[in-house]
Structure formats: structure tokens, C-alpha cells
Structure 1
Amino acid sequence: MAKVCIFDAYGTLFDVAAAARAAADEPGREALQAVWPELAEHWRLKQLQYTWLRTITDDYTPFWEVTKDGLDWAMEKVGLTDDPELRERLLALYWELAPYREVPIMLAQLKAAGKTCAILSNGSKDMLEGAVDSAGIGVFLDAVLSVEDVDIFKPSSEVYDMVGNEFGCAKEDVLFVSSNGWDIAGASGYGFETVWVNRAGDPVDRLPHQPKHVLSDLSTIPELA
């Protein structure tokens, strides 16, 4: 049984499409309403691609800068570059991303069972603090670990090292949960027991290391831990 449950943040605990969806629901956002799903998808993809490229080229910059760069690309892609107010609104909403519906109950169950729970994220510390506070889940977390402390993004092993350094636990004591297949591959290769949260029903990535468990949401995590 796992002693430490580690969660990725964006796309795993927090809905990364929530910012674009919420902005599109606001009055006067007709242009965004027509393209917000496409914008959200492009924004997330570029955000991830830029972390990988910056890791490969040894050119780390905080995740907040990557997030802004990804949004700028996405807005140009969908033809919304002439709306600086919308850009600022989307960035502000990213600090308040809604958690997936099952997250608070799932974390409460883990804590009631005596598990150590933490986030391990590419996110900048202040971004993560904003999201955790907005979601009201800080009471369930023993730590929020950011790659800012090592200046490199996942799936570098230096990031996964942070778990053992923080909690003094062995790799086999960790249940690592992420919605990102590449993150799961990295964590599996590192030696963690992994859970891929596959909300979209996607195929498993063709990478050397596979998830041990595949779930459609987080609700049954306490049964695995």
C-alpha cells in the first residue's frame, strides 16, 4: 500500500480548460464563444511543448512565462490577437482554475485514511498557491512541490527526486497520479507506482514505461492507495 500520494496539478486536479470556458460565458465574449474549445486545446498543447523544448535546450523559465507564451500563440492561431483585455482576463482566470468535481472528496478520503498527499507540478509556486487556495483543497495537502526549486521541468528525474527529498520515502512507497501520459511514463521509469487519469479515453502512449493503473477519473484513487 502506498504511503505517499503525489498528484500532478494541471489537467489532473485542475481543469485546464476552465479558464477559456469561464471567459466564454461572460457577456460580450461572442468571438471567444465560437472558438474557446480550440483555444483551450492549443493553449495547453503549446504550454506543454514549450516546457519540453526548454528542458531539451537547457533554457528553463518559470511556468507562468511558458503559460503566457502558450496563450499568445493560441490566441493568434484562433484569430484573437487584437484583444489584450481578453488575454489579461484569461491569464487571471488561470490562477483560479476549477478542480475536477471529485477532487475534494477524494483528497478528504485519502487524508482520513492517514495518507500523505502532495502536489508535484511544473507550475510556478505562486500559480499553484492561487489554484490550491481557489479550490479550497490546501487543508488536504502536506506539501505543494514546484519545479521552480530545481529549475527544470518534468519528466526530468530531478523533479521526481523532490518527492523522496521532501518526505524521506522510498520510490515504492509512492503512488503517482497524473493525467499526462508523458508524465506517467517518466514517473513509471523513475520507479513510482503510477495511475494515469485518462479522462478522454486516449490510447496509451507508445513509450517504454507504461502506467500500472488507468482510471477515467480520480474517484477511486483511495481504493488503490
Structure 2
Amino acid sequence: MPITTCVFDAYGTLFDVSAAARQAAGETGFPALAHRWPELAKRWRHKQLQYSWLRAITGAHADFWQVTQDGLDWALEATGLDGDPALRRRLLDLYWELKCFSEVPDMLATLKRDGMQTAILSNGSPAMLDGAVRSAGIAADLDDTLSVESVGIFKPDARVYDLVGQRFGCARDEVLFVSSNGWDAAAAAGYGFVAAWVNRSGEPVDRLPWRPAHIVTDLTTIPELTRTNS
């Protein structure tokens, strides 16, 4: 079936999750972060995801803002940067206004000109996603922002992917699902979406039972993929 709906993961896919640490490192007042921000950003993201999986598996759900704070606290301690409450506050404030990747606005505008339905499907809480979307200035080219909070469990639980069909009334194979997380793209492929993995850092494909239909290095070619599958 032709692609009618293009759905994006948010963090790491549309929004640069390293931007908060990178920006804080360039500000006065946080000299200890200047050369350690890449390590902090990597550890923060890893724990944020790991805690979401563990909470999903154990049924101990908390919203993504709590998970984000917990991940940051672990990463700050792991990098020896946990002695500065001002740094913690600044990093968390910046997370509400993450920059989107440079190709995102034009890519979304092209999808809308092509008649695509567009949405975010994210672990993020509604308030976090609203802040990021408004900060990036991309709200006009999104039909909706879907959060796992409506089902109370994180991806890759199938109930999260169910939200797309419930919202748009589309079949699974009408959806191009785009994620920078290999595990997310793989799980979406297993669910029945046409999945595209945005592999910006050249990582190996995850050893899982499913593989994404497409692997791209950024989001520039996403409109072409929707046409190819139409």
C-alpha cells in the first residue's frame, strides 16, 4: 500500500539530544564541562534509554521527565560533575528547548507539500514534546504529537505503536516510521510499519529478529522514501 503517514521518533531523530550538554559547555560558569560534555551527553542518553526499558519491563512506569532527570544524575556522578547544582539545573532547562537537526524544517515542509500525514511518536511526556516542538518551530508541519503517556509504557511495547493507527486510521504498511534508535526502527518493522533507521554515527545494525527497510545517514531523503514506497 502507498505511504500515507510519516511518523518520527523525537529525541535523537528530530531533536539533537547532545545539544543541551554542548550548549552548556560553551557558556560561562561551567568550565569543568568544556572538555567532558561529549562523554556526559553519551552517558546521559544511554541511561535515559536504559531506564525506560527497565521501567517498561518491570511495570514501574514514570514519565520521561523523571527518567531524563534520573539519567542525568547518574551521568553527572559517573563523570565527576555532580557537585554543581547550577550545572544540573541548566542542563535540564536546556533539554526543554533542544535544537532540531538542520534538515528537519525543510524535510517536514516537503512531506506536508506532498500530502503526507505527519506526527511524532515518542517516549517523551506531552509537556516535554510541546516545549521541544515549539522551540524548534516545527508545529505547523506536524499533524499531531503522540506520547507514550496515553498508554503508560515506553517503546518498544506494541501498545505505543498502536497509537498511530488509532489516531490516523491507517494500516500499518501505510506508515513510514523513522527513528535514530536501531532497536526502535527494528521493533517498528516487526510491528508492521515500513521503518527507516537514521544511523548518523555509522553504527552496526542491531542483532534483532527484524530489520528496518531503509537505513539513512540523515533525514534529507525521507520524502523520497515515502514516494518510493507509494
Match of 1:207 in 2: 208
Partners of 2:154 and 2:143 in 1: how far apart? 21
1:28 positional shift = 2.4
Match of 2:166 in 1: 165
Question: Can you list the C-alpha shifts for 1:57-105, whole angstroms capped at 9, x where unaligned?
Answer: 0110000000000000000001111100110100000000000000000
One-letter amino acid matched to 1:106:
M
Match of 2:143 in 1: 142
Match of 1:222 in 2: 223
Match of 2:133 in 1: 132
1:34 positional shift = 1.8
Partners of 1:82 and 1:146 in 2: how far apart? 33
Count residues with an aligned counterpart. Answer: 225
Task: Please state whether the residue corresponding to 1:209 is helix, strand or coil.
Answer: coil
Within 5 A, what are the aligned runs for 1:53-92?
A: 53-92=54-93
Q: With structure 1 as the length reference, what TM-score do the two structures score? A: 0.99
Percent of aligned pairs sharing the same letter: 64
Matched, 1:187 2:188: yes
Partners of 1:207 and 1:147 in 2: how far apart? 23
1:27 positional shift = 1.1
Q: With structure 2 as the length reference, what TM-score do the two structures score? A: 0.97
Partners of 2:72 and 2:21 in 1: how far apart? 10
Partners of 2:35 and 2:217 in 1: how far apart? 28
Partners of 2:35 and 2:114 in 1: how far apart? 45
Let me know the Cα RMSD of the aligned residues. Answer: 0.5
Task: Please state whether the residue corresponding to 2:98 is helix, strand or coil.
Answer: coil
One-letter amino acid matched to 2:49:
L
Match of 2:29 in 1: 28
Partners of 2:35 and 2:56 in 1: how far apart? 34
Structure 1 unpaired stretches of 5+:
none
Task: Please state whether the residue corresponding to 1:214 is helix, strand or coil.
Answer: strand
Match of 2:45 in 1: 44
One-letter amino acid matched to 1:207:
L
